[in-house]
Copies of this chain bind each other. A is one copy, B any other.
Amino acid sequence: MGDRVLSDMFAPSRVAVVGATESEGSVGRAIVENLRDDFDGETVPVNPNYDDVFGLDSYADLQSAPDVDLAVVVVPPPYVVDVLRDAGEAGVDDVVVITAGFGETGSEGAARERELQSVADEYDLNLVGPNSLGVISTPVGMNATFGPENALSGSMSFMSQSGAFITAVLDWANDQGIGFRDVVSLGNKAVLDETDFVRAWGDDPDTDVVLGYLEGIEDGGTFIDAAREVTDDTPIVLVKSGRTDAGAQAASSHTGTLAGSDRAYQAGLDQAGVLRVETVQELFDYAQILAGQPMPDSDDVAVVTNAGGPGVMTTDAVGDSDLSMASFTEETLDALSEAMPEEANIYNPIDAIGDADVERFRTALDLALGDDNVGAAVVLSAPTAVIDYDDLAAEVADLQAQYGKPVAAVLMGGERTERAADVLAGQGIPNYFDPARAVASLDALASYREVSERTYQQPTEFDVDRERAREVLGRAEERGDNRLGVEAMDLLSAYGIPTPTSELVDSPADAVAAAQDVDGEVVMKIVSPDILHKSDIGGVKVGVPNEDVYDAYEDLVTRARNYQPDATILGVQVQEMVDLDAGTETIVGMNRDPQFGPLLLFGLGGIFVEVIEDTTFRVAPVTEREAREMTEEIDAAPLLRGARGRDPADVDDVVETIQRLSQLVTDFPAILELDINPLVATPAGVQAIDVRLTVDTDKL
C-alpha cells in the first residue's frame, strides 16, 4: 500500500459510532460515553434501532448521517463488511473496526477478514483493526476506545498490537502523569499496520516520540524504509515481543503472526534506527526522556551527588553503558576546588558530601553543565537534613533549561520526592530511585543521537554480469534440483566476488587439462547435489600435483559412488590452490526471512561460527557502512585486523564482498539461501573457496 494520509483519523470533526447503543455493559455504549465525555467534535450514533442514543440523534446508516470523518464500528462480525460498504459509499475514509471475530478466530473469521480487506481496498479505506480497542487523540479529546481510561495529553504517540497492554498502560500512566498524543490499538492489522502509523507520526510535527508494542511486523523491508526516514527526526522505541523461542510460540498462538527469526527483527530494527527495548520499564523510561530532554552533544556524563556510595553505583552504571564519565577541564576543576569544601571530591563523580545544601549542589551542577567536556548530567541525592528536594528540583530544572544539556535525576527516597519529581517533570527531567535507570535513560538519548546523525547512503550498485548469474542459477532448473554447490562459483564471479581459477570437468582427461591451466598443485572436489558434506566422505583432495590429477579424479568419483550409489555426479571441480593458512577464514551467507527477506550473515569461519556463534546479521540490501559494521562487530573482529601478530587482512575487500553478495541476493529473489564458506581474507584480498546455495526455480 502507498503512503496514506492519516492525519484526519486523529483530528476528526465528526465521529460516527456504528452500533451505538445505551445497552449496559456493551462496547457500543462505552465508546459513545468515552466520546461524549471529552471529544471536542461531534459524536454521531449510527444504529437503525434507535432514534437517539444518550440524547444524540441516531442515524440508520452512514449515508444518511451528516458528513462523518471517522467511523468507529462495533456491529457484530457478520455486519461489518456491510458497514464498510456504507462507509465507502458515504465517502468516509477513516474507519476503526472494534469488532472481533476475524482472523484471530479460525478459518471462518479469516475468510471474513479477507472480505473486509477487499472492501477496504475497493473504497481505499484507512482501516484500523478489526479486533481493536480503538484510537485516542488527545489534542481533540477523542477517546474512541471502549477502555475505562482516556489518556492525558502529551507528545508521545503510542501503538500496540495488544489492546490489554494499552488499557494497563493508560491506567498506570494517568497516575504517573504521563501523557500521549495519539494512541492506536492495531488489532489484526488487516489494512493499516505499524508502518502506516510510523509514517503518519513521523509526518506529525507534534509527535516527539513514537512508541509501540508489536508482536510482529507485516512487511520488514517497507517498515525499515519508513522507519529509517522517520528516525532522522523522531525517535521510535519499540518492544517487539516473541524474542525468545518460548515467547515466539506464545505470540504466534496469540495473534497468529508467523514468527520470523528474531535475528532478522534485531537486524532490521537496528538498520531502521529503532531503539528496541525488552521491558515495559525501558519502553517508558526511554520514551519519556526522549520526549523530555534534548540529545547530548557527547557521550560524556557528569555525576553530581551528596552521597559517595550511590555515586559509585552511578559510575558503575555509566561503565556498563555506552556512555563515559566526563573529564572536567582544568578551569572547571579549579572552580570546583574553590567552591567545594576540602573533603569533597571534585573529580567526576563530584561528591559535594553529606552536608551539601541546595546552593552547593547548584554550584556544582552549574560548573559541570558549563564544562564543554560534559554532554549530560546525573543529579543524585540522598535525603539529608540540609537538602529540600523541592528546592533542589527547581534549581536542577532551571540549570537544565539554561544549558540545554540533558539531565536525569536520582533524588532518592519515598514520598518526599513526589513534589520534586513533578517539578522536574515540568522540565522533562525524569527522576528515579535507581541510578542505573537514570544512566540507561541518558544512554538511550545518546543512542538516538547516533541514529539521528546517520546519513543513509544508498547501497553501492556494482557493475555485475546479471545475465551470467541468471544462467548459472538456471542450471538448477535444467537439472531439476534446487541445490547448487562449488560448480556454481561462476555465480560469484559474475558478481565480482574473487574466486580461484576453477573448472568443472567430467572426465579424468579434462581434469588433467584443467589442472594444466593452473600454476602449481590443485584442489579437486567432487560435485554432486546429493553430497552435502564433501569433506566427510573424502570428496575433497588438496594439493594434488599435476601427475596425480588423473587418478585423483577417478578416486573421487569412486568414493562418491561407494558413498551413495545413486548419487547424481556432475563431475569434479578442479581449483587453483589457495593457501588457507595465509589468511583468515570467514563465512558470508544469506537466508530469507518471512518478514524481512534476505538476511545476510558474516562471521569468522570454522569454530567461531559453529561453536560460539560469533556472527552478525543485516537485512539486504546493505550500504557500505552496514557491511563494514558487520566486519567490526563480531567478537573476533581484531583477528581480521591483525591481532596476535598476524598480517591484517584486506578488510575493504571483505566489506565489498558482503555488498556484492547483498546485491546478488537482492537482484535474485530466487536465491533462497547461500553460503560462501570459506571466504578467505588475506592481506592481498579475498577469495571465495566454496559456495552452496538453494534456488527457487519458480522465481527465476
Q: Could you tell me which A residues sit within 8 Å of B by CB distance? A: 25, 105, 148, 160-165, 167-169, 171-176, 213, 215, 239, 241-247, 249-251, 253-255, 278-281, 306-313, 315-320, 324-325, 343, 345, 347, 349, 351, 354, 382-385, 412-416, 433-437, 536, 606-607, 610-612, 614, 635-636, 638-639, 643-645
Contact = CB atoms under 8 A, between A and B. Distances in A.
B250 A434 contact: no
Contacts of A638: 611
Contact of A105 (B343, B536, B645): B343
A420 B610 CA distance: 50
B414 A307 contact: no
Interface centre among A160, A351, A536, A612 (most CB of B within 10 A): A612
A570 B245 CA distance: 60
A243 to B, nearest CB: 5
Nearest to A610: B644
B433 A313 contact: no
30 contacts: A25-B385, A148-B383, A148-B385, A160-B309, A163-B309, A164-B308, A164-B309, A164-B384, A165-B307, A167-B382, A168-B307, A171-B412, A171-B416, A172-B433, A173-B414, A175-B413, A175-B414, A241-B313, A241-B316, A242-B312, A244-B319, A246-B316, A246-B318, A247-B316, A251-B312, A253-B347, A255-B308, A281-B433, A611-B644, A612-B612
Contact of A239 (B215, B242, B313): B313
A162 B435 CA distance: 15
A310 B383 contact: no
Contacts of A249: 315
A553 to B, nearest CB: 26
Nearest to A133: B354
A333 to B, nearest CB: 14
Interface centre among A215, A249, A309 (most CB of B within 10 A): A309
B246 A382 contact: no
Q: Copy number in this complex?
A: 2
A113 to B, nearest CB: 16
A280 B434 contact: yes
A280 B436 contact: yes
B607 A412 contact: no
B164 A354 contact: yes
A281 B638 CA distance: 36
Nearest 9 A/B pairs, CB to CB = A162-B309, A244-B319, A175-B414, A164-B307, A168-B412, A247-B316, A171-B413, A164-B382, A254-B308
A635 B610 CA distance: 11
Interface centre among A280, A312, A382 (most CB of B within 10 A): A312
B384 A167 contact: yes
B253 A345 contact: yes
Contacts of A412: 168-169, 171-172
Given A168-B310, A280-B436, 9 more contacts: A167-B384, A171-B413, A172-B412, A215-B309, A243-B319, A244-B315, A254-B351, A279-B317, A281-B434
A607 B164 contact: no
A491 to B, nearest CB: 27
Interface centre among A254, A434, A437, A636 (most CB of B within 10 A): A254
Contacts of A161: 309
Contacts of A281: 433-434, 436-437
Contact of A254 (B241, B309, B536): B309
B435 A280 contact: yes
